[in-house]
Every structure is written in structure tokens, then in C-alpha cells.
Structure 1
């Protein structure tokens, strides 16, 4: 689990710097994909899924 958390922090920081510095390139997309795989395998994945579902529900319930 410690390795997974370290990977999340590492790839998250690199992805953030890529977005801030310049446009998303192929190498940047690979780092972002690795970040997603590490997040999916961590213990916070169910919380992220629940948050996404909650946000989708909230947006789906808006009436214009």
C-alpha cells in the first residue's frame, strides 16, 4: 500500500506540472494514464467512484 500511495503522489504531481507547464503531449498522457491506474488500485477508489456518481446525480437533477 505504501508503494501505491507513493506512486499516486508521484504521478499526480507530475501530471499537475505537465498541465501547468504546457499542453498535454503523448508522454504526458502516458503519465496521466499511470496515475489513473494507481488511483484505481488504491483504497480511495471507492470514495472517488461514489463522489463521481454523486456529482453525476446532482448534475442530472438540475432543471434549466
Structure 2
């Protein structure tokens, strides 16, 4: 749970920075957010969570 919270905060910060430098448009942010919410409701959600846990475990060992 901590990893997913950290990932959400980091990705949110990255999106905010990209919006500030006008690299992203609001329509793209809304589309990505909608995709993320829909992905979380599919059967792929455990696979994505396992991948994030694996990356977090790898970074934790460094």
C-alpha cells in the first residue's frame, strides 16, 4: 500500500510539473486518469500491482 501511495504521489507530481511547463494538456491528463481508474477495475490490476511491488522491492534493496 505504501508503494502505491508513493507511486501515485510521484506520478501526480510529474503530471503537475509537465502541466506547468505546458508539455501536457488537461485532456491528456484526464484521459490518463480515466485509463488508470478503468485499469484498476480489470483483471490486469493484480499484475500491475505485482510489477509495482517488484520494482519497489528492487529499489529497496539498492
State if a TM-score over 0.5 links the two structures: yes
> Per-residue CA shift, 1:8-33, capped at 9, x if unaligned?
xxxxxxxxxxxxxx921111100010
Consecutive unaligned residues in structure 1, runs of 5 or more: 1-21
TM-score by length of 2: 0.61
Q: How far 1:38 sits from its partner (Å)?
A: 1.1
Which runs of structure 1 show a deviation greater than 3 angstroms over 4 or more consecutive aligned residues? none
Q: Aligned residue pairs: how many?
A: 41
Instruction: Give me the CA root mean square deviation.
Output: 1.4
TM-score by length of 1: 0.59
For residues 32 and 59 of structure 1, what CA distance do their matches in structure 2 show?
A: 25
Larger radius of gyration: 1
Consecutive unaligned residues in structure 2, runs of 5 or more: 1-21
Give the number of the structure with larger relative contact order, counting CA–CA contacts within 8 Å between residues 6 or more apart: 2
